[in-house]
Amino acid sequence: EVQLVESGGGSVQAGGSLRLSCAASGFSFDNFAIGWFRQAPGKDREGVSCISSSEDYPYYADSVQGRFTLSIVSANNTVYLQMNSLKPEDTAVYYCAADLYGGGNWYNCRYGMTYRGKGTLVTVSS
């Protein structure tokens, strides 16, 4: 059974940084897709960054390009999202999602994935 557990959320002032972690169990980085999504109150879900075994580079939403970085440490089955230069509009519940197969990064971020964690709240104040 795939389980995804996020951590690292919190409150930060605009311009600050946070690093989110997603610990994945029941999951292998041999053939996979995994990514970070967010949802703010009253807004649609947004695929923030996604990566898969099918493509060489992660996808980033335009809204976070150049500020957020997705990385994987396969040795401990953890995916990170480093978030710099945070803005109030980054405030949302961030969650990790995954599939047990690859696929296009843009597609996965656009349409979502099968497994997801419960999320962690990020609040950015101005």
| pLDDT tens, position by position, 74-89 | 899 999 999 999 999 9
What tens digit of pLDDT does each residue of 32-60 get?
A: 999 999 999 999 999 999 999 999 999 99
The beta-strand segments (E) located in the chain are: 3-7, 10-13, 18-25, 33-39, 46-52, 59-60, 68-73, 78-83, 92-99, 115-116, 120-125
